[in-house]
Amino acid sequence: MQFVLVTKGQQAIREFTGAMHDRTGNLPPLYGIFPDYTAPIVRNQPEGRELTMARWACPRPSLR
């Protein structure tokens, strides 16, 4: 399992990633980001990079 901390503010994330659009709303520090939770991501869009929230998960191994 991967454990990630997000303790930098939105402005720092936008500056580091070059995100032009911010759709996260008021993003508090996230002291634990786990699979199946929403987390901030930066994605490429036709109008530029976008900081937004997305739910993510790790692929599960197939059951045999």
Express each pLDDT in 29-48 by its tens digit.
787 788 788 888 899 999 99
Q: Which residues of 27-37 are buried (b: 16+ CB within 10 A; e: fewer)?
A: eeeeeeeeeee
Question: In this predicted structure, what is the pLDDT of residue 16?
Answer: 86
Identify whether the C-beta of residue 39 lies closer than 8 Å to the C-beta of residue 22.
no
Q: Is the pTM of this model over 0.75?
A: no
The average confidence (pLDDT) of the chain is 81
Question: In this predicted structure, what is the pLDDT of residue 49?
Answer: 94
